[in-house]
Each structure stands twice: as C-alpha cells, then as structure tokens.
Structure 1
Amino acid sequence: MIVGIDIGGTKTHVRAESDGATLLDRSVPTAEWQADGKLDSPASVQGLLALFGGLPGSAEAALAVGAHGLDSEAQTLAFQSALAEAHRGRTWTVNDVELLGPAAGFDDAIAVIAGTGSKVVGRLADGTPVTAGGYGYILNDPGSAPALVRDAVRSLFDAVDEREQPDQLADALFAHFGVDDVVGLSNALTVHPRITRWGAAAPLVFAAADAGSRRAARVIDDAADELARSVQLVHRHGAVGRHVVCAGGVITNQPRLFQAFHERLRTRGLGHVVHLLTAAPVEGALAMARRLSAQPGAVPFAPSTPSRRKS
C-alpha cells in the first residue's frame, strides 16, 4: 500500500493505492486535522495519519507528503522526523511545490507555482534544492493573486502622479473596493492587508487588461517576467531538467499570464519545454510513494532522507 498527501494552506488531499487500485481519495480542510497550526507537532501528525489510518496495511504504507509551509531545510527535517517517529512505513517530505514535476510525469523538472502565493523550485543533480521567490505576498510572490493586485494599485499611484485619466483598471478596482480615488484604494488595502482581500480582486486585473488597460497589461507582463527570471536563476544555479511545470490558481486559470510567462522564458534564452499541470498535485506525492515502495534505496525526486521508524 502507498499513500500520497498534498497539504495546502486550506485543503489537504489524500490518495491511497494498493496494487494499482485506488483505496482512498479524499480532500479535507487542513484545519480539520492541523489543530494547533504546526505541521510537526504530535497532535498534527496523529491527525494527518488518521486521515488514512483505517485502511488495511496503513501502518506500514510508504508515505510521501508535499506540504505548504516547508520552506526551509530545518522545517522539512522537523516534519520528516515527526512523521518517521509516528509512522512505521517509510516516509518522505517535500514542499508542496515539488509535487508538480512528478505529478506531470517528470523525474527532473523546475516547478513554478502561481496562485495564492508564488515560488520556483528545482533540484541539483545531487538532489539539493534550489529555489527562488516565495517570500510572501506583501513584498514578493510575483504572479500570485495578491501580488498582482498590489502591483496594480502601485501602478495606479504612478498614473495619478503622471496626471493620467483613470482607465479600466482604476474603474474596476475603485468599484470593487468601494472607493473613489487612489487614496481610498490605498487605505482599503493597507488597513486590512489580508491575503484573501487582496487576492480576490486579481481577476479584475486580467479583465481590465483584456478591456484595453495598458497598465493592467504591463502589471501582468512584469509579473510574468519576474517568474521567468526566477526560473532563469534556478537554472543558472544548477537545477536539472529541461521541463518547466506550472500550477496554481492564477497561472492555471489566466491564460494571459501563462502565455506571457512562456514568452518571457524564450526572451531570456531558456529552451525549456513549458507545461501547465493538468493532473492533481497529489499524483506527484503518490508517484514519490510508489518509487519509495518499489525501490527502498531510491531517491523519489527529492533529497529528503527516507526514514523508517526504529523499533
């Protein structure tokens, strides 16, 4: 039996297989099992294991987990150790972005996520991770929903300073936030700087660009170029693979961003083949678990050290 888990900030997707047959495929709110908000706490680990613990053979199952929030080696090792202590089967833990490559069927790929947040992740030939971005929507995360809104609002500040008339972007954001000018817009975003409040307005940026707003189009193109630059940096630092796999709510649902990103990669001289992930990311975790089960000494697409609980 093998188990793959994709832990997101809001949803956790669990899939289990035995001899190629699906035993379990369920999604639950992450808060339902992560009671204290910490991945590596005993309560959270037990809650996670309980999601598939009723299945025959679950205690010995090979388990691979991609988790939102594993942004450093220390965080990954802490979670890996906690899982290995509580679960008798072999375990593997990575950042959830790293599920994209194996979910698309590639052993080596650079993963690009652009949704609620954004990040680019690759691996060196020896399995060492190499990343770019992912520092949070207020200061970073180009191409993410809240960052696009942040940059769109900043662009409107420039428009006022340059004495431009409000365009489709300004009209859409003023109406959405219930304000009359950029001062009110600034207050609306900064008094309540919630990621969901910012991110909810992201579709308006794309709609404004489609309606002819040059500022909205520039915001999207600049975000695409920042993402392409992050891929270039990861590649320059030695990330292996000739494929780039993209996922996340924004780049998946907004063709304008995906197309601009693809074009900016070419402009920067990168010859990678670019893919938009169509499979569920949990398939990547399941692929890792499958490799872990079939080849106990193998590295399933990532450098974490597979662990087995000592009896």
Structure 2
Amino acid sequence: MANEITVDNLFFRYHEQSPYVLNDISLTVKQGEWLTILGHNGSGKSTLAKFFNALNVPSKGDVVACGINTKTADEWINIRRNVAMVFQNPDNQIVAPTVEDDVAFGLENAGVPYEDMRDRVYNSINKLGLSGLEKQEPHRLSGGQKQRVALAGALALRPRVLVLDEATSMLDPTGRKEVLSILEKLRVEENISIIMITHDVTEALLSDRIIILAEGSIVHEGVPNQIFTDEASLGKVGLRAPFIVQIANELRRHDVPLPEGVLSHEELVSSLCKYKPIA
C-alpha cells in the first residue's frame, strides 16, 4: 500500500539560533490509514501537523506529501489540495455568509469550474449531514454543525489526506460524537487517510496506529492495544489509558482472564459475560 505521507529525519526550529522544537521525526501514513498523534500541550504535535501540507517546511530532513516534497514551493497549492486541514476552532475557519458559500470557498480559490464546484459543494454537504442548511448563516449553527461545515469544505477539495488538529476539542460530547462518526464513515467510503492530532486518549481508540510525541520527539508508536496496555510507558509522558482500558487492566490484575485488545464497552461486556469464576 502506497504512503500518502512520508516524514524522513525531520528537524525544525523557528530561528537559526533557537533550539529545535521537532527532533529527528520519521513516520509514514498509508492510503486509507487512520493515524493519531497524541501528546500533551507543548509536545510538538500541532507544529508537526503543519508539515503535512507545507504550512511548515523542514529545517533539516524531508516531508513528502502525496508524492511531492514539501520543499518545492511551486507545488504548495497542489499539496494543499491533496492534504486538507481542519483546525481546532470552527469559527476561525468559516469565512462566508452561508453554509454553501463557505463550502465553496476553497474550490473558488482553486479555480474549479462552476458546474463541477456546484456538484462538489452539494455532494459534500449531503455527506456531512448538512442538507437543508445550505442557506443558513454558519454562526447560527451548533459547534458540531460548524465543524461539519469546515469538514465539508475540506472534503469538497477531494483530498487524499485529511489532517485534524484538535478538531473536536472545543465540541460538546454530542458534537464530538457526530464528527468522529462522520470521519469513520468517510475513511471507509472515500479511502481517505486521516491524521488526527489530539490529547484525548479516547479518540485515539478509533485509529489504526498511534504515535506519541513528547518534547518534540516520537517516544512511542504502535496499534491502540499495544499503546494502551503499556500503562508504565504512558505514565512517563503524563498520559493515562482510556477509562474502559483502565477497567480492563485492573480486572486482569485481579485474575479476571480478559483477552487482549479490549478497547470498548461492548468488548468488555461481551468478555465479562463469558467469564465463569472458579467457585
């Protein structure tokens, strides 16, 4: 399977004499993969996110996005069509007076012909569950709806990679659930690669693979089950496993023979229903 993003020995600092804020980062993101980058504030995860679509360029090393080295300035527009970003605060991304105008904004800048643009706008609006809100003023929408408008604008560009930088952190539980559910559906239906930047360990359960950053370096990498059953390593970087995983780990310490890989309420309940304690 082809790599959509390849980061090779990336170092970055803001000024020539300042310390590096990213140190020797190497990673790949495959087509259709969901990668979560976890870390506390100041770990470098949001800085790293900006390299995937050439908002930042390496001080040393290389980032290749959809086959293009991000150091090639003439290709930045093309890179940003293929690698779309959705940021933390939806209010900072909405620029037009109606939902349909906002979804169309990026397409207009990209010079997409009107008929194609119209089809893409309404297709994206429909996929994001915003049908009927086309003429609504975005500032009147809920937080979850606003973030779906931002996602619709990104999706209309037909990107190969979608980068979400703390895109659910300002949403209430209902809005967060809405957005995550849509992302899962998009990943399956569109085969889009998703890179989620977050400090929320529960959201990371949805991913295929997790990278943990601390002080600008990758300190752990693996599938969710590997990452979240290693409580000692999580503790060293100030993270805790999701609550459901903590419960499963504690039950194992009390000799309840749960299988590895219990990452959801449904899996835990199913395993406990099969458990027959020795009298």
Give the TM-score normalised by the residue count of structure 1. 0.27
Give the TM-score normalised by the residue count of structure 2. 0.29
